Amino acid sequence: MIQKLQVPVSVVSNFDHRRRTVAPVRVVFDGIPYFVRRIGFHHTYRRGRTLFHVFSVASDTLSFRLVLDTDNLFWSLEEISDGEAG
Amino acid sequence: MEKPADLPFNPKSPTLMHLDLNSCFATIEQQANPLIRGKPVAVAAYTSPNGCIVAPSVEAKRLGVKVGMRVKDGRMLCPDLVVVSPDPNKYRAVHLQLKQLLGSYTDKITPKSIDEFVLDLEGAPAFRLGMRELGREIKRRIREEIGDWLTVSVGIGPNRFLAKTAAGLKKPDGLEQIDNTNYLQVYTGLALTDLAGIKLNNTVRLNNLGIFTVMDFYLADIPVLKAAFASVLGYYWYLRLHGFEVDDAVFARKSYGNSFSLPRPFSSLEELSPILQKLVEKMGFRMRRAGYRARGVHVGVLYRDWGHWHRGHVQPEVVFDSRDIYKAALRILSGSPYRKPVHTLAVSCFDLVAGAHLQTTLLDDIAKKDNLVRVLDAVNERWGNFVITPAHMLAIPGRYVPDRVAFGGIKELEEIVLGSG
């Protein structure tokens, strides 16, 4: 099931200076920590002039759409899915 | 059958490559969400039961789910169907990444749609690698650099049409070539409707002149084909099937338009006018950003009984301000003789005028209006679309007239580039 949300979320991210990549490694949602196992896709978009980075990531059981607002560096969770039909 | 000895199949090396991202939107969603990979997925305009499926995944297609089906019908065929809302920004990001990757092989790239590209490798250094090897390398790089779940069908041919036809021979993840060594074999295995541009009406035209197979089509003389299509199109088909290029023309944009399928059966002008205004605001912003103004305004309505009505008017003055376009569009819509439930409302501007020159009038301060519109557009560009909106538009929910990626159209792709800066 895919659930649309719009909530602030705690995210630990990692910058690898050798590969020059940034990626979330841990998400805390509803008090439960989830370790990111896979980065599905990363893309950006602009709303007005504000740049948003969207990370579609998956833990062992859930996938998350995490959005980083580059104006205030706040993360929000916009979608959560268990991969099953809703 | 013997081919009349007039024009042989084009003997030149195939230098055109057509790339088609398989089940584009659904595959990108599977790329983004690893938990739905290998499962039947459908991207639908709305995830509600009556929502229209715009892109089924490869797995869903195998179970009979097709583009245009309702979500509820898709679920009847496939109860485990994962239904996803479209995410245009994600698809545009993949399009731009693909374009950048393909640009490392040639500068002669033509995006044909959000998920299709044509590469002309004639004279490009990459051509020395060999077209098939190049196709394999591009497939590998897409998996490594853009997404490991993304597959493309690659077609190679001496012209754009045959490259596209080759790309359709094996899906998903195909790599096929049509050239002067195998075209007869390929043509023998195809039905007329397998050719891009030949659907029911053209099949009937061809059948009427005794052309029932692609081989018949290939062997037909030019006068027969001209008679079938009643135009020069017959000659173009003759050249296409013989491997010569006729599809490399670039057409100028002729109009800007936006449409919206209504979630509720509105019928009165009071209910429809805020939606019409939002459509006009979106269209006007896009048109002005591309540097156009327009002389004509057109409104089209598809009703829920599948009847339709449309009307276009050429305005006395060139229009560019969304308020003026809305006034014209509302006047046109109010002229509709029908007051029945509307399925889809569409508005467009035609007879475009490029450039910044403005014809001044005695009645209106055009320069002042132009400055105001520029400022409003700049504010909306800075803070996001519709941060300044006509109060009338507040009557409709924000989810109405959402962002969409057009299918098939290539003109919108200019806007992807414009909007990505």
* Residue B93 touches partner A, C-beta closer than 8 Å: yes
pLDDT at B383: 82
Chain B contacts in chain A segment 44-83 (CB below 8 A): 44-50, 54, 56, 58, 62-63, 65, 81-83
- Per-residue pLDDT tens digits for B139-165: 999 999 999 999 999 999 999 999 999
* pLDDT value at residue B361: 66
Does the structural domain B10-181 have CATH classification 3.40.50.720? no
Grade residue B414 by pLDDT with cuts at 50, 70 and 90: low
Res B97: pLDDT: 95
SS3 B394: helix
Is B84 part of the contact surface with chain A (CB cutoff 8 Å)?
yes
pLDDT at position B403, please? 67
Nearest residue, CB atoms, A58 vs list B33, B93, B147: B33
Q: What is the pLDDT of residues B206-239, one digit of tens each?
A: 999 999 999 999 999 999 999 999 999 999 999 9
Residue B385's pLDDT is 67
Q: Does B89 contact A50 at a Cβ distance shorter than 8 Å? A: no
Give dist(CA B36, CA B238) in Å, integer: 45
In this structure, what DSSP letter does residue B391 have?
A: G
Interval A50-66 mean pLDDT = 96
State the residue for tokens 């649309």: A4
Q: Which superfamily does B190-250 belong to?
A: 5' to 3' exonuclease, C-terminal subdomain (1.10.150.20)
Question: What residues of A are in contact with residue B82 (Cβ under 8 Å)?
Answer: 2, 83-86
Q: Is B325 on the interface with A (CB under 8 A)?
A: no
Alpha-carbon Rg for chain A in angstroms: 13
Higher pLDDT, A65 or B364: A65
pLDDT of res. B421: 44
Q: What is the ipTM of this complex?
A: 0.95
Q: Is the pLDDT of residue B172 over 80?
A: yes
User: How high is the pLDDT of residue B411?
Assistant: 54
List pLDDT tens digits, range B184-199: 999 999 999 999 999 9
* Interface membership of B289 toward A (CB under 8 Å): no
- pLDDT band at B4; cut points 50, 70, 90: very low
- Whether residue B158 has a cis bond before it, omega within 30° of 0: no
Query: Is B150 touching A (CB cutoff 8 A)?
Result: no
Q: Given an 8 Å threshold on Cβ–Cβ distance, is B35 in contact with A81?
A: yes
Candidate CATH numbers 3.30.70.270, 3.40.50.1980, 3.30.1490.100, 3.40.50.150; the one for domain B256-419: 3.30.1490.100
Confidence of residue A11 (pLDDT cuts 50, 70, 90): very high
For residue B112, pLDDT over 70 is answered with yes
Task: Flag whether residue B408 sits within 8 Å of chain A, measured between CB atoms.
Answer: no
Give the distance from residue A54's alpha carbon to the nearest chain B alpha carbon, in angstroms: 9
Task: Write down the pLDDT at residue B405.
Answer: 62
Which residues on B lie below 8 Å from A44 (Cβ)? Answer: 93
Answer whether A63 sits within 8 Å of B381, measured CB to CB: no
User: What is the rounded distance in angstroms from the CA atom of residue A69 to the CA atom of residue A73?
Assistant: 5
CB-nearest to A56 from B33, B380, B382 is: B33
- Residue B94 confidence (pLDDT) above 80: yes
Do the Cβ atoms of B65 and B54 come closer than 8 Å? no
Which residue of B82, B383, B387 is in closest CB contact with A85?
A: B82
pLDDT at B179: 94
CB contact under 8 A, A85 and B81: yes
Backbone angles phi, psi at B279, to 5 degrees: -60, -45
Helix (H, G, I), strand (E, B) or coil at B414: helix
Q: Where are the domains of chain B?
A: 10-181, 190-250, 256-419
Q: Buried b / exposed e across B358-368, counting CB within 10 Å, b at 16+?
A: eeeeeeeebee
Q: Which pLDDT does position B2 carry in this prediction?
A: 43
B80 touches chain A (CB under 8 A): yes
pLDDT class for A1, splitting at 50, 70, 90? confident
Instruction: Look at residue B399 in the predicted model and tell me its pLDDT.
Output: 67
Q: Encode pLDDT of B5-61 as tens digits.
A: 478 999 999 999 999 999 999 999 999 999 999 999 999 988 889 889 999 999 999
Nearest residue on chain B to A36, alpha-carbon basis: B34
**Is the pLDDT assigned to residue B1 strictly greater than 90?**
no
Q: What is the C-alpha to C-alpha distance for residues B75 and B231, in angstroms, rounded to an integer?
A: 44
DSSP for B89-146 reads HHHHHHHHHHHHHHTTT-S-EEEEETTEEEEE-TT-GGGGG-HHHHHHHHHHHHHHHT
